[in-house]
Amino acid sequence: FGIRALLIVTVTLSPATAPAWSEKNTTGDVYPPLWDLAPENLLDFLVKDNKIVINAWNYQERLGVYKNLLNSSAKYFTAFGSQNFGNILWGLPLQHGWQFHTGRLADPSGVTSCGYEDGDLLCISVRSWWSCMNYYLAIIPFLGAVEAGLFGQLQYEIEILPPEEQRADFCYSVADCRSRIPKLMDEWKAYFEVNNFTFFFIFSVSPATFSSFKLDDALCLMWRAHVSSIAYALPKFQDSLKYLSDPEASFGEDWANAVDFIAATHFSTDLQNINNFQAFLPQRMLVEGDVLPSISDFSPQQNRVLLSLRALHKANQLTGGLLLKLWQKAMSTEAGRKMGRKLIEDLASS
């Protein structure tokens, strides 16, 4: 049952089931909301007292953190599509954009107007489980990249502004994060290390098999850090789930569980792949009364994705995590991952 649930969700999220996508489709909603307005250079942020000051609790500024990561790493992905479409960091800002678009970054407690159209729409609430989890997939990768030298020698230090509450749950500079979460910083730094990037992509103009092998190495490091960020943040923000409806809280935990399975396949998180599968994610927050798989304003595919995520999570819990371990073992070699992808393609086309 668990394996079947796993295959269903993977198939549903597979690009093979999504509408055709073209590189010509470069306008409109293929980018995160307000992408063009986000700061694209570190000096576009506030510079004060010899520090670059970033408000990570403003959607546009957190998006700007991603934009700087994408821009500064673009040169390493020239062999994987034009306009930086092949950059495997696209999964992070696109997921953040989906969270913003669907209202998941707003204050779910309703106590403040943070994140609402009749209040401060660009505000990211520290009471949002999604926004707190995302901090560890935005600011920590960014500070890891700074430490790794992705932006070269910076003339200013980076300072992240704290939220109004729960300040102890986050870190705010390279030194601060290095002292608090050294292992997590190490994993993101390893991905962004300039020497590693050079190793991955210096021969990217060589035959495709060599390029894809090196890309797989990069995906391995990226997903390892991604999974570690979630594993660290999940217990820390468990209490924030209380602000969500039961269906939304369950979906959040189901999604976090599914990432472990997706990561094992070294799923390519480029612009096209992420846009394709995000079409099957819920386009609003779940509320009390939403019952799977019969949520009337969701498409059949969206209902199926949510049901599959739920089944996968339950199956993994019932087996004490054995299902994930078996899947990871099957995906531990390139040949295994290739077989897994082929299986997914076959199921999707059947």
Q: What is the pTM of this model?
A: 0.89
Whole-number mean pLDDT of the chain? 87
Residue 274 pLDDT grade (very low, low, confident, very high; cuts 50, 70, 90): confident
Q: What is the pLDDT of residues 122-168, one digit of tens each?
A: 999 999 999 999 999 999 999 999 999 999 999 999 999 999 999 99
Q: What is the pLDDT of residues 285-303, one digit of tens each?
A: 999 999 999 999 999 988 9
> Which candidate, 251, 253, 247, 249, places its Cα nearest to that of 230?
253
Confidence (pLDDT) at 338: 76
Helix or strand or coil: residue 6? helix
In sequence order, the β-bridge partners of residue 120 are 114
Confidence (pLDDT) at 339: 78
Q: What is the pLDDT of residues 49-66, one digit of tens each?
A: 999 999 999 999 999 999
Q: What's the rounded Cα separation, in Å, for the pair 350 and 339?
A: 16
Confidence (pLDDT) at 122: 98
Confidence (pLDDT) at 319: 96
Over range 7-19, report the average pLDDT.
45
> Which candidate, 50, 30, 54, 33, places its Cα nearest to that of 42?
54
Over range 180-188, report the average pLDDT.
98
Q: What is the pLDDT of residues 77-125, one digit of tens each?
A: 888 888 999 999 999 999 999 999 999 999 999 899 999 998 999 999 9
In sequence order, the β-bridge partners of residue 47 are 52
Q: What's the rounded Cα separation, in Å, for the pair 89 and 106?
A: 24
Q: Exposure string (b/e) for 291-326, b if CB count within 10 Å is 16 or more?
A: ebeebeebeeebbbbbbbbbbbbbbbeeeeeebbee
Instruction: Name 54's Cβ contacts closer than 8 Å, sequence gap at least 6.
Output: 45, 46, 61, 64, 65, 158, 159, 160, 161
* pLDDT higher than threshold 60 for residue 348: no
Helix or strand or coil: residue 120? strand
**Which helix (DSSP H) or strand (DSSP E) does residue 52 occupy?**
strand 51-54
Which residue reads 């970033």 in tokens?
Answer: 54
Q: Exposure string (b/e) for 155-169, b if CB count within 10 Å is 16 or more?
A: eeebbbebbeeeeeb
